[in-house]
């Protein structure tokens, strides 16, 4: 655990740095929650990139679960529309925006799982294009091309949701 703790903490900080300033979840709590879930995970770890790809997905899941609880408590009041670039960069978001992005990513995963995974690895996992390419066994150019298409698809989905 000490070997990966600092990297997980860095990923958690990246995820939370882009959240709203008054977010109730802190990086340490996020890492500890991820650790508890990773310990119970029955995964055949292939390599470092695979571990951090799974960790990125887990961090996203924890943030979405946290946002859903927070959103329910507020009864959905005042959700605002955001652009895809803001969503993919994960700017300061309300709970409703995170949930809307997660739902759009789930629809993208049903339509094209690789594009969804690329967005997840780059945006939530903090992986570089090269690392994502290695994890998905594709070229960095394909990662770039697929990301552009995923952003366009998500932009349309998020715009339709708000209309």
Decide if 155 contacts 144 (C-beta within 8 A). Answer: no
Q: What is the DSSP string of 13-74?
A: HHHHHTS-TT-S--HHHHHHHHHHHHHH-------HHHHHHHHHHHHHHHHHHHHHHHHHHH
Mean pLDDT, range 138-163, rounded to an integer: 87
Q: What is the pLDDT of residue 60?
A: 78
pTM above 0.85, yes or no: no
Mean pLDDT, range 83-102, rounded to an integer: 58
Distance CA 29, CA 59 (A): 11
Mean pLDDT, range 146-161, rounded to an integer: 88
Q: Is the pLDDT of residue 7 over 70?
A: yes
């Amino acid at each position: 655990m000490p070997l990966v703790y600092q990297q997980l903490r860095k990923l958690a900080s990246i995820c939370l740095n882009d959240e709203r300033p008054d977010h109730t979840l802190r990086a340490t709590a996020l890492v500890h929650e991820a650790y508890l879930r990773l310990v119970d995970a029955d995964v055949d770890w292939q390599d470092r990139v695979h571990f951090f790809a799974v960790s990125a997905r887990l961090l996203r899941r924890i943030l979405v679960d946290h946002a859903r609880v927070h959103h329910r408590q507020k009864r959905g009041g005042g959700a605002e529309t955001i652009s895809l670039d803001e969503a993919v960069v994960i700017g300061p978001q309300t709970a409703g925006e995170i949930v809307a992005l997660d739902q759009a990513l789930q629809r993208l995963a049903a339509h094209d799982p690789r594009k969804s995974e690329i967005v997840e690895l780059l945006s939530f996992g903090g992986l570089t294009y090269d690392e994502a390419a290695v994890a998905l066994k594709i070229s960095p150019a394909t990662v770039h091309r697929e990301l552009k298409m995923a952003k366009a698809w998500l932009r349309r989905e998020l715009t339709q949701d708000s209309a």
